[in-house]
């Protein structure tokens, strides 16, 4: 097998790339800034700093939405830039194989778009292979998914939550639902606009979620800055944790309902394993305070978290790349 391999996790919020023999070589925001519709001004973390602050002649956007590539043209430009950075730092990338983590519950056309992006970089890739994201996720948590133990994975990401039942190296059920951390941010924005006639941006909403957000009730308050819609002027507002919980709990409950739905369809022997071992919860949005307590209250299952929940997928890809025992988990290459 070719030892020149790159593993890529195309996340909605960030893109991570691992290289055989070197580990993680790129971790940047999945954002691109286009000047006057045709000039790439910035990508990644640099472009993220411009988000929600750009003038009209500068378009700043996320090419990945709801777990799939939504803007193929901008994604092509962004990946060419990212791979160029890697080539500058660690040598030429021509002839590399690519292992791409993809959600299970997407169409073949959506999967093919990942292949098109890699070919667009003009780096003459070798083989392009797919790894189902829940499998990489489980390996990234250190689980040996080749045995017969049933596993419940819940990947709570930026725009989606992927709920999967795994056993014997395969996926029994998987569901990708369009609710993630960004939806909680939007819930907070909508609540503050509706209740206080006050407008905040998504970055401010995210900071509120991280500071006050809780899956149970939480406590505390913070001052935020935005625009009063009545006066039209910049202003400040104090928000409390209790109302933030009220804003996000409906979306959290929707995720729990989907977990229950999948568990109801799970074979009884696998259910027994899940009850003994609990749910494995990953994704950057799993850092929400008291999420574990909320899952225990609503499902009765204990919860296992990772120290770096946003990195489990890319860590799992690294495990597959470096350990031949897991090469059988790679899906067949899709022809371009």
Residues facing residue 199 across a β-bridge: 227
Q: How confident is the model at residue 89 (pLDDT cuts 50, 70, 90)?
A: low
Residue 67 scores a pLDDT above 90: no
- Interatomic CA distance for residues 149 and 167, integer angstroms: 6
Residue 177 · residue 285 · CB < 8 Å: no
Domains contained in the chain, CATH given: 5-136+312-329 (3.30.420.40), 142-305 (3.30.420.40)
pLDDT for 334:
54
Token pair of 256 as six digits = 């729990």
- Reported as a single tens digit per residue, the pLDDT across 94-125 is 889 999 999 998 888 998 999 999 988 888 88
3-state secondary structure of 86: helix
Q: What are the helix and strand counts (H, E) for the chain?
A: 10, 18
The DSSP-derived string for 145-204 is: TTSS--EEEEEE-SS-EEEEEEETTEEEEEEEES--HHHHHHHHHHHHHHHHSEE--HHH
- Reported as a single tens digit per residue, the pLDDT across 124-181 is 888 999 999 999 999 999 999 999 999 999 999 999 999 999 999 999 999 999 999 9
Mean per-residue pLDDT for 217-243? 95
Residue 316 · residue 137 · CB < 8 Å: yes
Token pair of 156 as six digits = 């709570």
Residue 128 · residue 98 · CB < 8 Å: yes
Predicted TM-score (pTM) of this structure? 0.93
- Reported as a single tens digit per residue, the pLDDT across 246-273 is 999 999 999 999 999 999 999 999 999 9
Mean per-residue pLDDT for 305-323? 96
- Reported as a single tens digit per residue, the pLDDT across 201-223 is 999 999 999 999 999 988 899 99
């Amino acid at each position: 097998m070719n030892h020149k391999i790159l593993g890529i996790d195309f996340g909605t919020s960030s893109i991570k790339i691992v290289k055989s023999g070197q580990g993680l070589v790129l971790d940047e925001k999945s954002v691109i800034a286009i000047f006057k519709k045709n000039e790439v001004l910035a990508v990644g973390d640099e472009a993220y700093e411009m988000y929600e602050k750009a003038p009209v002649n500068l378009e700043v956007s996320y090419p990945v939405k709801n777990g799939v590539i939504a803007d193929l043209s901008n994604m092509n430009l962004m990946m060419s830039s990212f791979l160029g950075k890697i080539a500058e730092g660690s040598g030429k990338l021509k002839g590399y194989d690519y292992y791409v983590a993809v959600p299970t519950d997407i169409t073949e056309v959506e999967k093919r778009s990942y292949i098109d992006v890699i070919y667009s970089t003009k780096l003459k890739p070798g083989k392009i292979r797919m790894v189902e994201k829940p499998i990489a996720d489980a390996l990234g948590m250190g689980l040996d998914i080749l045995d017969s133990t049933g596993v419940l994975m819940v990947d709570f990401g930026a725009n989606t939550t992927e709920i999967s039942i795994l056993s014997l190296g395969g996926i029994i059920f998987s569901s990708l639902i369009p609710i993630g951390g960004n939806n909680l941010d939007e819930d907070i924005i909508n609540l503050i606009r509706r209740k206080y006639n006050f407008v905040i941006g998504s970055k401010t909403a995210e900071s509120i979620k991280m500071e006050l957000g809780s899956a149970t009730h939480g406590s505390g308050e913070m001052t935020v800055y935005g625009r009063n819609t009545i006066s039209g002027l910049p202003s400040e507002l104090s928000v409390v944790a209790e109302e933030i919980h009220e804003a996000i709990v409906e979306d959290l409950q929707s995720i729990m309902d989907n977990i229950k739905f999948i568990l109801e369809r799970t074979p009884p022997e696998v259910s027994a394993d899940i009850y003994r071992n609990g749910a494995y919860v990953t994704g950057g949005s799993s850092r929400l305070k008291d999420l574990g307590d909320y899952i225990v209250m609503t499902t009765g299952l204990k919860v296992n978290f990772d120290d770096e929940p946003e990195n489990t997928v890319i860590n799992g890809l690294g495990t597959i790349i470096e350990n031949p025992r897991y090469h059988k988990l790679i899906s067949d290459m899709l022809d371009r």
